[in-house]
């Protein structure tokens, strides 16, 4: 039965060993995105350049704080660090503050962040579909917002 239920077992994960990123770089995984950062700060957490924040998690720095849509998180000395005259945003301190779990492989310099629980609140409380962004097989990017004005059925399946 297993053979009947699982298609193409011989094709599973035949991946060659390849570098995850250029030597010295750091990779951040979030919402299916794979972001390579050429420069990070020193320390135990993950310090990123403030200008990298939007492409990492959609937030951007404004006078009110780190903002996503109409929600802003005030900055403090834990979230912003200065090293050698440069400003850094402490992404792991931000995640801790927001209750956003993450897993890091420090040897490989890869940080994988879970979804921000705050981005799910509207689904959990009001049944509103969560924001997501995903690409179809043709490479078209599909966002939840793109489906507004239409009825949508999203069905998961698998080959296994």
Partner 1 sequence: MPVWQQVYAEINDPNFVLICVAEDTGGEAVAGPIFDAADPTYVQVIDTDHIISSAFNFVNVPSSAWIDEEGRIVRIDEGTYSKIHEFGEGDQTITFGNDVYTPALKDWIANGADSKHVQSAATVTANIRDYTPEQFKADAAFRLGNLFRSHGENDKADQYWEMARALNPDSVNFFRQNLTLTEEGSAGEQFMTFMGEYVAQGKDYYRPLDIE
Please give the residue ranges that form the binding site for partner 1 (CB under 8 A): 1-9, 11-20, 27, 29, 31-32, 34, 99-103, 105, 108, 110, 112-115, 117, 120, 123-130, 132, 134-137, 142, 144-145, 147-160
Instruction: Compute the Cα dihedral for 82, 83, 84, 86 and give only its sign.
Output: negative
The radius of gyration of the chain's CA atoms, rounded to the nearest angstrom, is: 19
Contact assessment for residue 51 and residue 63, using Cβ atoms and an 8 Å cutoff: no
CB of 125 to partner 1, least distance (A): 7
Q: Smallest distance from the beta carbon of 132 to partner 1, in angstroms?
A: 5
In the block, which residue shows the tokens 């009947």?
4
Classify each residue of 48-77 as buried b or exposed e, where b means 16 or more C-beta atoms within 10 Å of its C-beta.
bbeebbeebbbbebeeeebbbeeebbebee
Q: Could you tell me the smallest distance in angstroms from the CB atom of residue 26 to partner 1?
A: 13
- Min dist CB 115 to partner 1, Å, is 6
Q: Which is nearer to partner 1, 86 or 154 (CB)?
A: 154
* Pick 70 or 136: Cβ nearer partner 1: 136
Nearer to partner 1, 27 or 87 (CB): 27
Residues in the chain: 160
């Amino acid at each position: 039965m297993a053979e009947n239920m699982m298609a193409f077992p011989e094709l599973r994960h035949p991946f060659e060993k390849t570098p995850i990123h250029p030597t010295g770089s750091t990779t951040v995984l979030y919402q299916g995105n794979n972001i390579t950062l050429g420069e990070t700060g020193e320390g135990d957490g993950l310090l990123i350049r403030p200008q990298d924040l939007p492409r990492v998690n959609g937030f951007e720095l404004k006078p009110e704080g780190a903002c996503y849509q109409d929600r802003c998180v005030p900055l403090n000395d834990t979230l912003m660090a200065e090293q050698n005259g440069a400003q850094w945003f402490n992404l792991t301190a931000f995640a801790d503050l927001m209750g956003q779990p993450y897993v890091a492989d420090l040897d490989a310099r890869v940080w994988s962040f879970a979804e921000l629980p705050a981005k799910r609140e509207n689904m959990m409380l009001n049944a509103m579909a969560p924001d997501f962004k995903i690409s179809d097989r043709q490479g078209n990017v599909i966002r939840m917002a793109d489906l507004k004005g239409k009825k949508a059925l999203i069905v998961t399946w698998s080959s296994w």
